[in-house]
Structure 1
């Protein structure tokens, strides 16, 4: 009971903080007015009223939010960065779906390089916070809710103790279970936090790379026709190749080092035939 009360207190405190952070927007930057026509007096600069901030649920809301935050970023970079980091860590820490849209938003607001660095760091830190919350408050509830999945993951971790970090990378590239579930189960199945931290940062780089690059392209598009231009298609092909290379390497090496379900099943069948 104490662990449940502690978890609720953490969720409530984080929710209140994020709510008030999004509520008290700074003054909107001023846009430059168009040049005045002859015979007309120059109008004073006017600021646009702030829009209500909320988590995007589709691409249209994502585009609107990206435009708003890009507008604020011109004069309030620190606030936009704090707001984005807080929202991202909130989602990751409490295993809330939607990191894909936030990764795309990172590319649209901060660009390809800063966006990728930011998304990778926040993914790793947020997943680690989820790990710590699960270790402190959630062990009993996760085991009772997902007994079969937890026992399966525990068995696979024990079978791959000699190459545990490599196995964790494999799970990130080719997930047997969703990332949010792996984040919560990792402390329960005795995965060291150092291995967990490194595997999240490295293993989710291709995923973060694709999302951030998608956000960069969306921010540059003026119409859907631009998406199917030759330059855009070549860019998409290059992104896909770069993102697939680490996964292909992991898959190739895993055939020799990891104990997969198929291999163990083949081994048991062979043993029965020998008997």
Structure 2
């Protein structure tokens, strides 16, 4: 069930955003290079707006299209820069002995886990292309062996499924396409679903939810999540109450919330574009 929800959310978001990006890209090439594309919705909308004498609306449309592309490039470039910069810092803080020990114990010596010298307990997966699990010495010292194992399995699920990249893509679409508010709901719900799936994976590996739950409670007690300026998937900063309820009673159905207003606004935006397309074509 949770896996199907995850796929539905991700595919829906990528489909909506992909169509919009493709249409905007064709429109930009028309505006800058003079490409004549017959079935570009945005180009046809712009033509219709000009024919109605509403030139100021056309300027707004152009601003939205070009700013969406520019903002996407800026956010993606900034993300890559911050990720590389922080990764270099992590390597300078790395505890070689603990890193070697945990990789030998849990990842077959593949060095997918990095332990860094930091007193604050942290556990997250980072990296868009080659995800890596990052743990702090504060976390290793705070948890017992079974709890640490549960956390590592949780983050291993995120790493194996490229969740940092997928979460970043949905976050990018939601932030640059603010005029389609359902994408923000997709982003929020997707993070919840991925955390539940990672929890379920850890439970299947450890045999019960006791150690995962106790690790989560230890991280929450007196410790606020560490905010990172780059895309990552953290063990303890997403949907804590939701996850605790799921851990206490895995059979309880916890339906995701789909805000009615954002959905209706998004439908109206897409419907308006399709209506303009049909009117111009006729």
> How high is the TM-score relative to the length of structure 1?
0.30
Greater per-residue helix proportion? 1
> How high is the TM-score relative to the length of structure 2?
0.29
Greater per-residue strand proportion? 2
